[in-house]
Structure 1
Amino acid sequence: MANVSVAAEWQLLGDRYYRKPDLYHPLRWKHIDLSRNKVACAPFGGPIALIRDDSKIVQLYAESALRKLRIFNSAGVPLSDTIWKNPGGRLIGLSWTDDQTLVCIVQDGTVYRYTAHAEPLEPNFSILGQEYLDENVVECVFWGNGVVCVTDACKVFSIADFKSKSPRPLRLADPAPEGIEELPHCVAVIEPQYTMSGNVEVLLAIGDGVVMVEEDEVQPLPLPPGDGPLQKMVVSGDGRFVASFTHDGRMAVYSTRFEKIFEYECESALPPEQLAWCGLDSVLLYWDDMLLMVGPSDEPVRYLYDEPIVLIPECDGVRILSNSSIEFLQLVPNSTVSIFKIGSTSPAALLYDALDHFDRRSAKADENLRLIRSSLSEAVEACVDAAGHEFDVSRQRTLLRAASYGQAFCSNFHRDRIQEMCKTLRVLNAVRSPEIGIPLSIQQYKLLTPSVLIGRLINAHQHLLALRISDYLGMNQEVVIMHWACSKITASLAIPDATLLEILLDKLKLCKGISYAAVAAHADKNGRRKLAAMLVEHEPRSSKQVPLLLSIGEEDTALIKATESGDTDLVYLVLFHILQKRQPLEFFGMIQAKTLARDLFIIYARCYKHEFLKDFFLSTGQLQEVAFLIWKESWELGKNPMASKGSPLHGPRIKLTEKAHNLFSETKEHTFESKAAEEHAKLLRIQHELEVTTKQAIFVDSSISDTIRTCIVLGNHRAAMKVKTEFKVSEKRWYWLKIFALATIRDWDALEKFSKEKRPPIGYRPFVEACIEADEKGEALKYIPKLTDPRERAESYARIGMAKEAADAASQAKDGELLGRLKLTLAQNAAASSIFDTLRDRLSFQGVS
């Protein structure tokens, strides 16, 4: 009998069964007449928005003349309302986007948006733009997150995505460039996800034909003869078909290129008030007292209503909203048909019947099980699937009991399947309760996904249920708790900060790793800076904590937290922030005691802020550091060629170096640096003078030795002597420098004269070396005989190729190793080699004796 009562509620359309269970009856609202209102119902069991229709003359009962935008859940429970005071003319259309934002478009093209709590969202904008302010919107067609509007001049505009930060209106191609006399009879939209171009395609029934309007072209579509003009059009949920109502009372289904697939002749030529697809298998037409369901068969199904209704298409059916109830018209699932169809002998029906016998302690239960032994797993699966599609909780329970009963005798059935379905149904039953009012079917739930459902629950401020579902499904609860905390802060302006902090922490600690900083940021945004500061103290992640502390003005705490973290990037973030906010002396005082912050600032300032760094060192009494910086500046200045020009007494480099000397001299620990800076300044001054007098920029930044050498090369012996005297150059160094400088300019007479001034303190070997390097053997012979060491004489003679003299000198030295080296030096001279061999033999003989 149970099977008969279930199937008795179905209607047969062709070979398919349809059912229309009540989701909520009666609805919780009072004194609502849909015929007096414009209505927008969100898909997936979303909220319902109502506003009195200003295009109709209606009688006002005990109500204000002010129009109200009212929002209810699907069970008719009031959620919010607000006074409708938006100017711009008549309200043309309203609809919900995918993220449950209510979009309202008025006659002048202005778009107003509201949350599900009737809170306005800024900014408002016009879909027509500044160029078309004199035109009016006459029709809107919404889809997902977009809309298409048609103006009274037959211009078409679209917005592709309301979710973007700045929705951009776009004018589509003009459907009739030459101008037309009449507006389209109806408009339909093919969503971008179903078009080849990825852009919206708009179908306009103009005259006796149809045109497809895109962004840059208009394409006429051939309509079968006699079908035009079309009075209504609607595109199927998958974007493949178009259902339409013709001028002569026929309901026709076409492809999107208007090739006819099916038609049905209705009893009335009056266009229906609403036309909608029921899934992908049938089309609904609604007149003021009748709902006609037409499918691919000759006999439609009729439903009579004595009150106005609104059709709400869903992915797997249509919700039917009336003044008193909401129903769901859907195709009966195959699993449900197999169980409850009158006379069904399918394995699933026999399993369901077996449970009934088992409950009545009848032996026929075992007989049924034996009959379906080979198909038991399919029967169990059908019962589980049918339970998922049921809205009646007792029937869900019975079907799941039948599945569980069959599973006990079925070893190859996936054991977790029933458990998973129980979980899903518990979630669905929880959100279907009238207080929540989200009547999702299982197919809608799978398409929507649990995470989106959680998001919708928290947006509806159903945080407790969202938290329980998240916990039940093993999902991350952070999103729910975060949203709850932010909502609590917004709604608890009268609660003291300390009290509210305890309430928040009690819940926030439930979720490990939750972002206290994000909650604190919300508190700061709501003007509760003290609460924000207390909350951010509990944030364990410095990367989240420090930026927020800066945003709420807690620079000192932010610097402490950043340095404690050891993260140099965070420390620099705080330093740069404080640099912009505080005076230099205050900034210096903040970082002086914080080693990491101070060191990082110094590293940065050495590269980019020398003057600022000097101020810091001066404020902390580190004169030597200032001196080093100034000295470095003088060297940097030296890289500029212009730094060596101009007056030697007022050159900027000399001034900087002298300033460094003065600063170094004020500290006892930097005597060497002080002396070095003093001498460097003196040398620079002399070099500047030399460059001015010689008019050659070749002295600055050379060493003392190079300066002396250059002076001698240029013949300025007086200047060279002055440098020697000023810097107390030793005699030995002076001789070396002058010898090789004179050899460089090949002034051999001056070199000889210099050698005779007095006995050279470095001996005569450098004279010999200079002459040999200049390849002047004759000049070298002037000095070789003066060498006192016979070894040096021998080597020098050998280097200029005088073998006999080298041999004589070597024999005086009595050094066998020296003779060997000299032989190698003069290896090409056979006679010389013979001489050295004879000498070495003689030395060897003498050594033996």
Structure 2
Amino acid sequence: MANVSVAAEWQLLYNRYYRKPEIYRMSWKHVELNRNKVACAPFGGPIAVIRDDSKIVQLGGESAQRKLRIFSSAGHLLGETIWKHPGGRLIGMAWTDDQNLVCLVQDGTVFRYTIHAELVEPSISMGKECFERNVVDCVFWGNGVVCITETNQLFCISDFKNPNPIKLADPGIEDLPLCMAVIEPQYTMSGNVEVLLGIGDACVLAVEEDGVQQLGLEMLRGPIQKMAVSRDGQWLASFTHDGRLLVMTSNLNDILIEQECESALPPEQLSWCGMDTVLLYWDDMLLMMGPRGDPVRYFYDEPIILIPECDGVRILSNSSMEFLQRVPDSTESIFKIGSTSPAALLYDALDHFDRRSAKADENLRLIRPSLTEAVEACIDAAGHEFDVLRQRTLLRAASYGQAFCSNFQRDHIQEMCKTLRVLNAVRHPDVGMPLSIQQYKLLTPAVLISRLINAYKHFLALRISEYLGMNQEMVIMHWACSKITASLAISDTNLLDILLDKLKLCKGISYAAVAAHADKNGRRKLAAMLVEHEPRSSKQVPLLLSIGEEDTALMKAIESGDTDLVYLVLFHIWQKRQPLEFFGMIQARALARDLFIIYARCYKHEFLKDFFLSTGQLQVGSGLAFVLHEVAFLLWKESWEIGKNPMASRGSPLHGPRIKLIEKAHNLFVETKEYTFESKAAEEHAKLIRMQHELEVSTKQAIFVDSSISDTIRTCIVLGNHRAAMKVKTEFKVSEKRWYWLKVFALATIRDWDALEKFSKEKRPPIGYRPFVEACVDADEKGEALKYIPKLTDPRERAESYARIGMAKEAADAASQAKDGELLGRLKMTFSQNAAASSIFDTLRDRFVS
């Protein structure tokens, strides 16, 4: 009898059964759909209602102010607000995929609302032309909208998250289209939205951004009054002017269904019911038509709204919410009148078992080969049921049959029980989300949780997350932020205790994000207390800076040991605090101080000098020496930086900026005994640059500054300024040996051989005569070299010198005096190209060997 009562509610369309159970009795009061514009979200989403300003209605006791009201699918009020937008008549409204209500008004402005009727800023404009020409109609889909103006121009926004209005191609029509539909971008070849316009001629225009195409010229026998594109974008259902229903491919190349309807008047609504049938609604009748067979009629004495779903259509009336869908195969196999399928026999066996009848065992023996399939069918049928008692009975039947199956996957029942517990929880009228199992799988649990928390159903979302083993952080975070926003009357301390009691339930939750929300809502003290509980410094420190807790931020950054965080705090404080205050903050914190010094040494010398000098006043003992030493080196380094400027060496030789800086450094080094070497080096550096400036002024050649003492002496000699060279020698106490080396090679450079000879005779050179020989040989002056070779006291040096200028016999004579066989061998190699010379060295070497 139970099978008969279930199947008695079904309607047969050709060879398929359909059912239309009532899901809810609407809990709202005094809502008349025919007086209002209504927008219903798919997947059991909310319902938006606002009085239709294009209709003349009797207000009665109702306020003249229009209200936008948002209800759950069960009719519970979620939020309401006064409609205050002056942009003209409301053209259309719909729900986006993320459940924002979008409302398009006559001047092309799009307003967005949350499910609690809170306005989302900013509004969106469809563009200047829509503002000037007025929007007259629109079609929404997913996250986009297409609208048409009084001048029959089409404009599109493909994604409200990135609103960029685009003008589509000009359709070239004079009158407004009879109907309009949209093929979503994901189903078109171009990847852009395609708009179908039913115009007066027997054709449909397909309009895209880059062109217009005429469709259906041969297929249609007159204009189309209504259109609806299937969910997958492949099929187009249309109602013609002569009362026919046509179902065609979306390119209008092929007709799949052509049936006469019972009225030539265009229906108020045309909708797909899943992918199986098409619904047409007139004033009091809902007609369901399929590929074959007589249509099914449903009669209503109140207006209805059709809400297409992936697996059927929800039907909203003033008093109820129904769900029209095709009866699932598993349900049909069990409850169809006269069914003898294994699943039906298993369901019947449970009934006999409950009544302790032996027929239960007989049924099981009959279906033994197909018992696994029967159990699966009962589980599947339970998933498609909205009635909880029927779910329970079907699952008991599956469990009963499973006991006799040896190879059945036993977790299937548990998985279905888990799914149904979630679905039954969200279907409860207090929640009002009448999801079918197919919609639930398509929506995914994660999106369901997101929609629950947006509806402020945090406790249910938390329990479902926990039950499904999902991360609960998103739920708790949203609850905490919502609690902060809604708890203006609760003190920061009390609210902190409430928040921490819940936040600690989820490990790894971002206290910093909650604190940031508190700060955004003007509760800085609460934010500061919350951020103390954030364990991740990378999130904690930036927030502390944003709420003005610089001292705490610096301390936390240092404790983390992350130098990037420390630098972040340093640069932030540097910009906001006075220098002395900044110096005082970092002086006692070694890591911050050292990092600042490293940075400032490279980029901020003046600031670093101020730091050392200011902190030196705060220090005593050896600390002062350290400060003076650092500042002195900074001054010295700065002088080198100035030296890189080509203009730095010009000007006064006594008062140049570089000399002053070096002298300052010298004076600082003198202050302490620990830096005697540095003090002397700075003093001599300043003296050298001063002399080099004087030489550049006197010679009018900028070639001295920043050269070494040796180079300065050499340059003076080359220029013939021997007095200046002697002054540099005397001033810097250059040794005699170094002086001789420098002068010998300088004179050879300018080829002043007479001066070189005279210099060699002033006194016996402390470096000997070999440098004189080398200078002449390097200058390729063999004759000059012969003046000094005989003066070499070491016969080896004489032999090598003679060999260098190609005098083999003299080299051999000198080598014979040295009595060095190895030297003779080297000299022979020098004259290897000269056979006569080689024989001389062979003779000498043979003499030494014998």
TM-score band, normalised by shorter chain? over 0.9
For the pair 1:216 / 2:199, whether they are aligned, the reply is no
Corresponding residue SS for 2:140: strand
Query: For residues 537-577 of structure 1, what are the alpha-carbon distances to aligned partners after superposition, in whole Å with 9 as ceiling and x for unaligned?
Result: 11111111111111111111111111111112111111121
State whether residues 811 and 839 of structure 1, in contact with CA within 8 Å, keep that contact through their aligned partners in structure 2: no
Corresponding residue SS for 1:320: strand
Report the CA distance shift for 1:225/1:402 in structure 2 as closer, same or farther (over 3 A).
closer
Matches of 2:816 and 2:155, distance apart in 1: 114
For the pair 1:377 / 2:382, whether they are aligned, the reply is no
Give the one of 157, 161, 164 matched to 2:155: 157
Letter in 2 for 1:145: N
Letter in 1 for 2:198: A
Q: What residue is the counterpart of 2:746 in the other structure?
A: 741
Q: State the shift of 1:216 in Å.
A: 2.6
State whether residues 826 and 833 of structure 1, in contact with CA within 8 Å, keep that contact through their aligned partners in structure 2: no
Q: State the shift of 1:282 in Å.
A: 0.8
Report the CA distance shift for 1:734/1:390 in structure 2 as closer, same or farther (over 3 A).
same
State whether residues 825 and 841 of structure 2, in contact with CA within 8 Å, keep that contact through their aligned partners in structure 1: no
Q: What residue is the counterpart of 2:190 in the other structure?
A: 197
State whether residues 816 and 844 of structure 2, in contact with CA within 8 Å, keep that contact through their aligned partners in structure 1: no
Letter in 2 for 1:8: A
Give the one of 634, 643, 646 matched to 1:641: 646
Matches of 1:254 and 1:147, distance apart in 2: 24
Give the one of 258, 271, 277 matched to 1:276: 271
Give the one of 699, 704, 708 matched to 1:703: 708
Letter in 2 for 1:158: C
State whether residues 375 and 399 of structure 2, in contact with CA within 8 Å, keep that contact through their aligned partners in structure 1: yes
Matches of 2:730 and 2:168, distance apart in 1: 92
Q: State the shift of 1:373 in Å.
A: 1.8
With the length of structure 2 as denominator, give the TM-score of the two structures: 0.94
Matches of 1:575 and 1:111, distance apart in 2: 45
State whether residues 107 and 130 of structure 2, in contact with CA within 8 Å, keep that contact through their aligned partners in structure 1: no
Q: What residue is the counterpart of 2:478 in the other structure?
A: 483
Matches of 1:232 and 1:631, distance apart in 2: 87
Q: What residue is the counterpart of 1:535 in the other structure?
A: 530
Report the CA distance shift for 1:206/1:737 in structure 2 as closer, same or farther (over 3 A).
same
For the pair 1:501 / 2:496, whether they are aligned, the reply is yes
Q: State the shift of 1:504 in Å.
A: 0.7
Matches of 2:186 and 2:830, distance apart in 1: 93
Q: What residue is the counterpart of 1:83 in the other structure?
A: 82
Report the CA distance shift for 1:798/1:231 in structure 2 as closer, same or farther (over 3 A).
closer
Report the CA distance shift for 1:7/1:795 in structure 2 as closer, same or farther (over 3 A).
same
Q: What residue is the counterpart of 2:169 in the other structure?
A: 173
Q: What residue is the counterpart of 1:96 in the other structure?
A: 95
1:783-794 pair list within 5 angstroms: 783-794=788-799
Query: For residues 379-410 of structure 1, what are the alpha-carbon distances to aligned partners after superposition, in whole Å with 9 as ceiling and x for unaligned?
Result: 11111111110001111111111111111221
State whether residues 69 and 84 of structure 1, in contact with CA within 8 Å, keep that contact through their aligned partners in structure 2: yes
For the pair 1:681 / 2:679, whether they are aligned, the reply is no
Q: What residue is the counterpart of 1:30 in the other structure?
A: 29
Matches of 2:132 and 2:778, distance apart in 1: 99
For the pair 1:184 / 2:182, whether they are aligned, the reply is no
Query: For residues 291-330 of structure 1, what are the alpha-carbon distances to aligned partners after superposition, in whole Å with 9 as ceiling and x for unaligned?
Result: 1111112311111111111111101000011111111000
Report the CA distance shift for 1:231/1:805 in structure 2 as closer, same or farther (over 3 A).
closer
Matches of 2:794 and 2:576, distance apart in 1: 77
Q: State the shift of 1:613 in Å.
A: 2.0
Letter in 2 for 1:143: W
Q: State the shift of 1:781 in Å.
A: 3.7
Matches of 2:808 and 2:148, distance apart in 1: 114
Query: For residues 799-826 of structure 1, what are the alpha-carbon distances to aligned partners after superposition, in whole Å with 9 as ceiling and x for unaligned?
Result: 5555665566556556666566556656
Q: How many residues align?
A: 835
Matches of 2:462 and 2:20, distance apart in 1: 32
Corresponding residue SS for 2:159: coil
Corresponding residue SS for 2:535: coil
State whether residues 315 and 324 of structure 2, in contact with CA within 8 Å, keep that contact through their aligned partners in structure 1: yes
Corresponding residue SS for 2:166: strand
| Aligned residues with identical type, % of pairs | 81
Q: State the shift of 1:792 in Å.
A: 4.1
Q: State the shift of 1:280 in Å.
A: 1.1
Query: For residues 3-40 of structure 1, what are the alpha-carbon distances to aligned partners after superposition, in whole Å with 9 as ceiling and x for unaligned?
Result: 1111111100011100001111x221122221221111
Q: State the shift of 1:659 in Å.
A: 2.9
Corresponding residue SS for 2:195: strand
Q: What residue is the counterpart of 2:722 in the other structure?
A: 717
Matches of 1:419 and 1:733, distance apart in 2: 99
For the pair 1:60 / 2:33, whether they are aligned, the reply is no
Query: For residues 394-428 of structure 1, what are the alpha-carbon distances to aligned partners after superposition, in whole Å with 9 as ceiling and x for unaligned?
Result: 11111111111111221222222111111111100
Matches of 1:322 and 1:679, distance apart in 2: 101
Letter in 2 for 1:118: A
Letter in 2 for 1:433: H
Letter in 2 for 1:48: I
Report the CA distance shift for 1:753/1:451 in structure 2 as closer, same or farther (over 3 A).
same
Q: What residue is the counterpart of 1:294 in the other structure?
A: 289
Query: For residues 439-485 of structure 1, what are the alpha-carbon distances to aligned partners after superposition, in whole Å with 9 as ceiling and x for unaligned?
Result: 00000000000000000000000000000000010100000000000
Q: Which runs of 5+ in 2 are unaligned?
A: 617-626
Q: What residue is the counterpart of 1:732 in the other structure?
A: 737
Matches of 1:327 and 1:697, distance apart in 2: 98
1:661-672 pair list within 5 angstroms: 661-672=666-677
Query: For residues 185-215 of structure 1, what are the alpha-carbon distances to aligned partners after superposition, in whole Å with 9 as ceiling and x for unaligned?
Result: 1111111111111111111111123212212
Q: State the shift of 1:132 in Å.
A: 4.0
Report the CA distance shift for 1:837/1:271 in structure 2 as closer, same or farther (over 3 A).
closer
Corresponding residue SS for 1:603: helix
Corresponding residue SS for 2:323: strand
Q: What residue is the counterpart of 2:611 in the other structure?
A: 616
Corresponding residue SS for 1:150: strand
Quick check: 220-229 or 433-442, which moved more? 220-229
For the pair 1:247 / 2:241, whether they are aligned, the reply is yes
State whether residues 485 and 521 of structure 2, in contact with CA within 8 Å, keep that contact through their aligned partners in structure 1: yes
Letter in 1 for 2:47: I
Q: State the shift of 1:95 in Å.
A: 1.2
Corresponding residue SS for 1:284: strand
1:559-578 pair list within 5 angstroms: 559-578=554-573
Matches of 1:256 and 1:75, distance apart in 2: 35
Letter in 2 for 1:517: A
Matches of 2:541 and 2:470, distance apart in 1: 29
State whether residues 810 and 818 of structure 1, in contact with CA within 8 Å, keep that contact through their aligned partners in structure 2: yes
Q: State the shift of 1:52 in Å.
A: 1.6
Give the one of 577, 585, 590 matched to 1:595: 590
State whether residues 812 and 841 of structure 2, in contact with CA within 8 Å, keep that contact through their aligned partners in structure 1: no
Corresponding residue SS for 2:648: helix
Q: State the shift of 1:836 in Å.
A: 2.8
For the pair 1:390 / 2:395, whether they are aligned, the reply is no
Quick check: 442-451 or 664-673, which moved more? 664-673
Report the CA distance shift for 1:347/1:703 in structure 2 as closer, same or farther (over 3 A).
same
Matches of 1:834 and 1:17, distance apart in 2: 125
Corresponding residue SS for 2:180: strand
State whether residues 108 and 130 of structure 2, in contact with CA within 8 Å, keep that contact through their aligned partners in structure 1: no
Matches of 2:351 and 2:219, distance apart in 1: 58
Query: For residues 208-247 of structure 1, what are the alpha-carbon distances to aligned partners after superposition, in whole Å with 9 as ceiling and x for unaligned?
Result: 2321221232212224576422221111111111212222
Matches of 2:220 and 2:94, distance apart in 1: 34
Matches of 2:408 and 2:6, distance apart in 1: 27
Q: Give the RMSD, CA atoms, in angstroms.
A: 2.1
With the length of structure 1 as denominator, give the TM-score of the two structures: 0.94
Q: What residue is the counterpart of 1:845 in the other structure?
A: none
State whether residues 307 and 316 of structure 2, in contact with CA within 8 Å, keep that contact through their aligned partners in structure 1: yes
Q: What residue is the counterpart of 2:624 in the other structure?
A: none
State whether residues 824 and 841 of structure 2, in contact with CA within 8 Å, keep that contact through their aligned partners in structure 1: no
State whether residues 37 and 49 of structure 2, in contact with CA within 8 Å, keep that contact through their aligned partners in structure 1: yes
Q: What residue is the counterpart of 1:453 in the other structure?
A: 448
Letter in 1 for 2:497: E
